[in-house]
Amino acid sequence: MVVNSLSFLWFFIVVFLVYYLPVISQRKNLQNIWILITSYFFYGFVDWKMLPLLFCITFVFYLLGAWLKASMNRNESKKASRITTLGVVLGVGLLLYFKYLNFFADSFASLLQAIGLRASWSTLNIVLPIGVSFFTFKLISYVIEIHREKIQPADNFIEFATYIAFFPTILSGPIDRPNTFLPQLRKNHNFDYNLAVDGCQQILWGIFTKMVIADTIALITTEAWTNYADKDASYLIYAALLSPVQVYADFDGYSNMAIGVGKLLGFSVTKNFNHPLLARNVSEYWRRWHMSLTSWITDYVFMPLNIAFRNLATLGLFLAIAINLVVIGLWHGANWTYAVFGLYHSLLFIPLLCFGSFGRNKKLKEGKLGLPLMKDLAMMILTYVFVAFGQIIFFAKDVPSISSFISTVANGSWNCSFLFDISTIVPLPMAIFLFCMDWISRKKEFAIQRSSLIYTNKTINILILDLFIALAISFFGYNGQGSFIYFNF
Amino acid sequence: MLKKFILLFLTFCFLYISMMAAAKAFWVTTAPSRLERNVIDSDVHTVVLGASSGEHAWNDSIIPHSINLCNSGVSLGVSYNSLKWIEGYNNVQIDTVIVCSGFASFIYFEDKKLPIPRSSEEIFSILDYPDFLRFYSKKASFWENSLTSLPMWWFASRKLGGAYHYIDREKVNHPRSYDIINAIIESYGGKYGITEQKLYDKCTYQISYLRKIKEYCEDHNMTLVLLSTPVYKYHELLDDTGYRQLMCKELGDSALIADYSRFHLPDLTYYGDLEHTNYKGARYFSNHIVNNGLELQYAIDFAANP
């Protein structure tokens, strides 16, 4: 049941109508119970075999939270630290087991063989629970935040389980932090007309970017990643340059849908993207890209490492960044290509560290005719090209495929005849359109938020704009793709 | 406020569905005017119909007096309706109908996966109402497509039934070449599982339209030829005895079959994949037909001598 499907629409209509029934909407506990039931139904619909795991691990972390708080109340700081460590180890262990066990076992065997030792063992048949990378991070941050005394433990199990399993975000995020989400579960949600209309428009924009932009570009990029040996260099470069827009439109599309659904239920879900196409360097790119993940990793990985390496000055900072980005890379899956992806991005930080521009956050200025300044535009394009190269690494099947892809590009022929084919050229104006929309709506949460394009509260104008978008989805949307890239992670 | 929101949502849905239905109606009703090649040149006597096997193999610029109207993914039902459409435009000079539906393409058209061609709207416009119902009752995605991606169809082929399609791929040795054939073997229960009875069970629509094409050709004094285009080592992988017996039973002992399924092209570079020739294969095959004529046999011999 993908979020942009008819089955999800029917499911959500039922969720929505029951959620705002007077008998339920006046009691926060009943609303939470209803959200929890529907979230488990939703998750079970996608992967029912993993429901017991989700329930058990949620229950374990709920108990850990309560135990931790009790220890802290008794001023048993060592015990509290041990409980927190246990929670982190449990969460990381869960991820390691489901995502990385076979990967590390294979890699270790290859390493032993490389140095002449025999190593052979059979790998386990482990089924990856969908959304595990997302809900595990929620679980870990829950215990850490209690230990840091930034949050109070959940009032009851229903509240905590609802936070973990919240159906709009369980499959692909955004990764909500307990300090922002748990308080929302402690009050009842009355229907908010403006928030609901805003949510609907955000969902519509999410569907648009996913189905019209991402899925159309995917026809080009999928062909390039899978059959790169048969393609000429110009086609591969074209696909690589389109790829960042595809991934952005795909994941931002999903995030917008999730946030929009959350708004319809009265929740404020964490923002995941802040117009990353407008980034002028790689540091800014990572501050704008998948923000719920990067802020999580920054808080729990980068900051402790930065403190640990502070004696090494700039080198220490670089090491912290490199480890941070490798962790982000490997979070995506068990493949060395993701580690290389992280390393590649960390190398892009070297010029920023050398010139002292790391961490600078200059405001985007508007030039003549409302366009970006030439210098900013040049930096945006340069950053985009570097990110596009990173996508080659990201989507490579394995590490040798990266060099194979690059050598195909370097030695390949240049035949730009594909640019005269309507099906291959259509994605290009779509990518440029998304870039323009990002620029126009850079101060807004999403491109068609009412006050960004047409400032009005009149119902008729909302209807016209939404109908225009919906018809554009129907006319230009590619409905053969379906799945979201980040469902794989 | 909740009522106002629900009203707004329902109004939106109503307007959206109305506009899409209007666009769809316009698109479908104007489809016949967008079709090309409905009037065939007077010196063309042979029309070639069928799916991609014929589309990629029969080069009508080499084989004189013929026109290739094959199109990827179409079933015999579409071929039947294309035939009626051609007749409807008074193309009385057509005296031979070649249907490219050999063993390889036939077993692809199990009823449960009855394909709809990409140019659905155009085909929709030529289908008789009962045929339309028979086709699309099996194909849920048609109803999804019917409300989406309308202008994308504009970029699809507007040629009725398609045309000779040049392909330059050479993918017989591609790692995934055998995926589909393995799925077929599994679906039929092994290499020798494609029995006459199983074909009857699984290919109801295809068989019913084969009968219709046969009857139509008889009624209009046209010669029907069933053509199997060259395929790569297909019969080493699958036993086609059941298919041969079925063709004989359905078309009659004296029906004409042109079986090139065992025709050897010079090497692998002449095949696009297991089931299709590429442009080199099409050129070789078409020249062979020009030089030697179409080698025909009666269905009864076809059934008896693999």
Mean pLDDT is lowest, of A164-178, A338-352, A358-372, for A358-372
Chosen from A192, A397, A415, A475 to mutate, greatest number of chain B CBs within 10 A = A475
Q: Is residue A418 less than 8 Å (CB to CB) from chain B?
A: no
Same domain, A267 and A389: yes
Q: What pLDDT was estimated at residue B32? A: 61
- Residue B111 covered by a domain: yes
Quick check: A347 pLDDT over 50?
yes
Which residue among A190, A210, A227 closes a domain? A190
A124: nearest Cα among A139, A138, A104: A104
- pLDDT higher for B11 or B137? B11
Give domain status of residue B143, yes or no. no
Give yes or no: residues A87 and A69 share one domain. Answer: yes
Q: Identify whether A336 is part of a domain.
A: no
| Chain B touched by A467 (CB under 8 Å) | yes
Please indicate, yes or no, whether residues A139 and A245 belong to a single structural domain of this protein: no
For B98, the 3-state DSSP assignment is strand
Give how far A474 is from chain B: nearest CA, Å: 4
CA distance A433 to chain B (A): 19
> Pick from A191, A474, A478: which is nearest to B147 by CB?
A474
Answer yes or no: are the C-beta atoms of A204 and A210 closer than 8 Å: no
Please tell me the total number of residues recorded for chain B in this structure. 306
Mean of the per-residue pLDDT values for chain A? 88
Q: Are B11 and A196 in contact (CB < 8 Å)? A: no
Percent of chain B at pLDDT exceeding 90: 31
Residues A274 and A133 in one domain: no
Residue of B nearest to A475 (CA): B149
Please give the residue range of the domain that contains residue A256.
194-280+362-488
The pLDDT value recorded for residue A29 is: 87
CB contact under 8 A, B16 and A459: no
Q: Is residue B2 part of a domain?
A: no
Strand (E) or helix (H) holding B256: strand B256-259
Share of chain A above pLDDT 90, in %: 57
Contact B152 A476 (CB under 8 A): yes
Report residue A35 CA to chain centroid gap: 22
For B157-188, the DSSP string reads --BTT----------TT-TTTTHHHHHHHHHH
Task: Report the pLDDT averaged over residues B264-288.
Answer: 92
Instruction: Say if residue A238 is in the same domain as residue A264.
Output: yes
Q: Which position has the higher pLDDT, A17 or B116?
A: A17
Task: Kindly state whether residue B64 falls inside one of the protein's structural domains.
Answer: yes
Minimum CA–CA partner of A421 in chain B = B155
Strands B46-50, B66-68: pairing kind: parallel
Q: Evaluate whether residue B202 is within a structural domain.
A: yes
Residue A313 has pLDDT above 90, yes or no: no
A232 in contact with B at a CB cutoff of 8 Å?
Answer: no
The pLDDT assigned to B151 comes to 45
Confidence band, pLDDT 50/70/90 cuts, at residue B143:
very low
Q: What residues of B are in contact with residue A459 (Cβ under 8 Å)?
A: 8
**Counting every residue, how long is chain A?**
489
Active site residue A332: yes
Q: Is the minimum CB–CB distance between A155 and chain B shorter than 8 Å? A: no
Collect all residues with Cβ–Cβ distance below 8 Å to A432 and sequence separation of at least 6: none
Rg (CA), chain B: 21
Question: Residue A58: what pLDDT?
Answer: 96
CA distance A344 to A328: 12
Rounded to whole angstroms, the Cα distance separating B177 from B161 reads: 26
Residue scoring higher pLDDT (B125 or B63): B63
Say yes or no for a CB contact (<8 Å) between B16 and A478: no
Q: Are residues A254 and A183 in the same domain?
A: no
pLDDT at residue A448, as a whole number: 85
Q: By residue range, what is the domain housing residue B98?
A: 35-119+157-304
Mean pLDDT calculated for residue range B97-114: 74
Does the pLDDT at position A292 exceed 90?
A: yes
Percent of chain A residues topping a pLDDT of 70: 93
Residue A284 confidence (pLDDT) above 90? yes
**Which one-letter amino acid corresponds to residue A281?**
N
**Averaged over A415-422, what is the pLDDT?**
76
Longest C-alpha distance within chain A, in Å? Answer: 74
User: What would the pLDDT profile of A217-273 be if each residue is shown by its tens digit?
Assistant: 888 898 888 888 878 889 999 999 999 999 999 999 999 999 999 999 999 999 999
A315 part of a folded domain: no
pLDDT value at residue A205: 94
- How many domains does chain B divide into? 1
Mean pLDDT of A164-172: 93
Asked if A157 and A228 sit in the same domain, the reply is no
In terms of Cβ atoms closer than 10 Å to its own Cβ (0-12, 13-18, 19+), residue B41 is exposed
Q: Which residue in the set B4, B144, B148 is minimally distant from A193, CB to CB?
A: B4
The confidence score (pLDDT) of residue A480 equals 53
Chain A / chain B CB contacts < 8 angstroms: 53
Question: Does A190 score more than 50 pLDDT?
Answer: yes
Residues A384 and A430 in one domain: yes
- Active-site residue among A189, A290, A332, A345? A332
pLDDT surpassing 70 at residue B63: yes
Q: What is the pLDDT of residue A93?
A: 93
Mark which of A149, A166, A190 sits at the end of a domain. A190
Residue-wise pLDDT tens digits, A471-488: 888 777 765 545 666 655
What pLDDT score was predicted for residue B176? Answer: 73
The pLDDT score that the predictor gives to residue A121 is 60
pLDDT digits (tens, 9 = 90+) for B186-244: 888 888 888 888 888 888 888 888 999 999 999 999 999 999 999 988 778 888 899 99
- Specify the range with the lowest mean pLDDT, choosing from A84-93, A365-374, B80-89, B250-259: B80-89
Nearest to A206 by CA among A428, A8, A371: A8
Residue B172 has pLDDT above 50, yes or no: yes
Any domain includes B185: yes
A439-A440-A441 Cα angle (round to 5): 95
Chain A residues within 8 A of B9 when measuring between CB atoms: 200
pLDDT for residue B101: 82
Q: A358 pLDDT band (50/70/90 cuts)?
A: confident
Q: What is the pLDDT of residue B137?
A: 58
Comparing B3 with B187, which gets the higher pLDDT?
B3
Residues of B in contact with A479 (CB under 8 A): 144-145, 148-149
In CATH, what number is assigned to the domain containing residue B99?
A: 3.40.50.1110
Confidence of residue B2 (pLDDT cuts 50, 70, 90): confident
Name the domain boundary from A190, A222, A249: A190
Residue A18 shares a structural domain with residue A111: yes
* Residue A339 placed within a domain: no
Q: What is the ipTM of this complex?
A: 0.83
Higher-pLDDT residue of A320 and A460 is A320
Task: Indicate whether B19 pLDDT > 80.
Answer: yes
User: Is-contact B116 B141, C-beta < 8 A?
Assistant: yes
pLDDT tens digits, one per residue of B116-138:
544 455 566 666 667 766 665 55
**pLDDT value at B148 more than 60:** no
Q: Is B64 exposed, middle or buried (0-12, 13-18, 19+ CB in 10 A)?
A: exposed
Round to whole Å and give the CA distance between B85 and B94: 12
**Contacts B16 to A, Cβ<8 Å:** 467, 470-471
Pick the residue with more confidence: B144 or A373?
A373
Q: Do A467 and B149 touch (CB under 8 A)?
A: no
Q: Is B83 part of a structural domain of the chain? A: yes
Q: Is residue B85 part of a domain?
A: yes
Mean pLDDT of B244-249: 91
The verdict on residue A329 lying in a domain is no
- Cβ-based contacts of B15 with chain A (< 8 Å): 463, 467
Which range has the top average pLDDT, A124-128, B87-91, B99-103, B264-268? B264-268
A75 and A167 share one domain:
yes
Structurally, chain A folds into a number of domains equal to 2
Count the Cβ atoms, other than its own, within 10 Å of residue A61: 24
Q: Report whether pLDDT(A420) > 80.
A: no
CB contact under 8 A, A479 and B19: no
| Residue of B6, B148, B154, B176 to mutate for A, most A C-beta atoms under 10 A | B148
Which residue in chain A is spatially nearest to B144 when comparing CA positions? A479
CB atoms within 10 A of CB B241: 14
pLDDT number for residue A344? 96
Structure confidence at residue A119 (pLDDT) = 62
For A316-325, A450-459, B12-21, which range has the lowest pLDDT when averaged over its residues?
Answer: A450-459
Which positions in chain A touch B20 (Cβ < 8 Å)?
471, 474
- End-to-end alpha carbon distance in chain A: 17
Residues A224 and A108 grouped into a single domain: no
Residues A105, A200, single domain; the answer is no
Contact A193 B5 (CB under 8 A): yes
Does the beta-carbon distance from B144 to A466 stay under 8 Å?
no
- Starting from the edge strand earliest in sequence, which strands make up the sheet with B46-50, in order? B66-68, B46-50, B96-100, B223-228, B256-259, B297-298
What's the pLDDT at B118? 46
> Distance, in angstroms, between A212 CA and closest chain B CA?
10
pLDDT of residue A124: 61
